[in-house]
Amino acid sequence: MTGTIENREKFLATLLEKRGGVELPFEAYQPISNLPETHLAHLTTDELLAIARDQAARVSANLIETTASKMNEVIAGLIEKSGGEQVMIPTTDEFDHFGIQVESNQLVQWKIGAEYRDENIMAAQNSNVAVAVAKFFLAESATIAVESEAGQGRSLHFLPTHYISVIPLSRMVARSTQAASWFEENKKPGSTLHFISGPSNSGDIEMQLVVGLHGPLEINYVIVKDL
């Protein structure tokens, strides 16, 4: 990945000052291996999916495999299982592109525009379920990569109690560097990429794992094999 390093000279000057003005010869970083570019690269899609299943269990995420013809039925079943109530969806073209239809009598949609910021946050906070499409699914850690942009702010991904991530199998990659490389080349102004591995949890409080501590209590990965 390439890009501009902002405030580089100022940062280096501060380091030099802290060292008492003593300069050291420059030594270019040499990676000790090529694992960031090759990890799991030799595996087939089925083998990567098998790894993802095991990792999903490790991060307390529910992984459901389905087909495009049954996808909406699976989504409806997960919403019902989660208790229904208010369901929030993004405003993007991906739902139409993949044929995703969310049925709910309490359906709310993310509103585009800075003037709706507080309203969107409140709607996400009051939603029991959110449904969104993952930009990538990392097999190595059962992690979804989601993009926050005009049609789906980060509140949609983090505030609802239950989260349903629709994942076209074609968007499964082996490792995080692939998602990061894509984002570096295709990022939109003001957008951010979030990596989410299962429901929120914390294992550093008296060595006790607490799920749903600061985000969704439950995350469902819906892998659609023929998308």
pLDDT digits (tens, 9 = 90+) for 119-144: 999 999 999 999 999 999 999 999 99
pLDDT number for residue 211:
60
Looking at the domain assignment, is residue 13 inside a domain? no
Per-residue pLDDT tens over the stretch 21-62: 777 777 888 888 888 888 898 999 999 999 999 999 999 999
Residue 32 lies in a domain: no
97-112: average pLDDT: 96
The 10 Å Cβ neighbour count of residue 133 is 25
Please report whether residue 51 resides in a domain: yes
Stretch 67-71: mean pLDDT:
98
In the chain, the amino acid numbered 212 is G
Question: Is the CB of residue 213 less than 8 Å from the CB of residue 200?
Answer: yes
Neighbour tally for 145: CB within 10 Å: 21
Whether 3 shows a pLDDT value over 70: the answer reads: no
Domain harbouring 125, CATH code: 3.40.50.10420
Tell me if 193 is assigned to some domain: yes
Structural domain includes residue 194: yes
Nearest-angstrom CA–CA distance, 164 and 134: 10
| Distant-in-sequence, close-in-space partners of 67: CB < 8 Å, separation ≥ 6 | 224, 225, 226
Q: Is residue 205 domain-resident?
A: yes
Q: Which residue has the tokens 């749903």?
A: 212
Q: Please check whether residue 69 lies inside any domain of the structure.
A: yes
Q: Tokens in use for 70?
A: 């049954």
CA proximity to 197, closest of 128, 145, 125: 145
Confirm if 21 and 32 have CB atoms less than 8 A apart.
Answer: no
How far apart, in whole angstroms, are the C-alpha atoms of residue 221 and residue 155?
18
Where in the sequence is the domain holding 196, given as residue range(s)?
44-224
Per-residue pLDDT band at 2 (split at 50, 70, 90) = low
Task: State how many domains the chain has.
Answer: 1
The reply to whether the predicted model has a pTM over 0.75 is yes
* Lowest-confidence segment of 12-16, 106-110, 205-209 by average pLDDT: 205-209
- Give the mean pLDDT of the chain: 90
pLDDT tier at 190, thresholds 50, 70, 90:
confident
- pLDDT category at 20 given cuts 50, 70, 90 is confident
Res 212: pLDDT: 54
Distance, CA of 138 to CA of 51 (rounded, Å): 10
Is 95 contained in some domain?
yes
Looking at the predicted structure, is the pLDDT value of residue 203 above 90? no
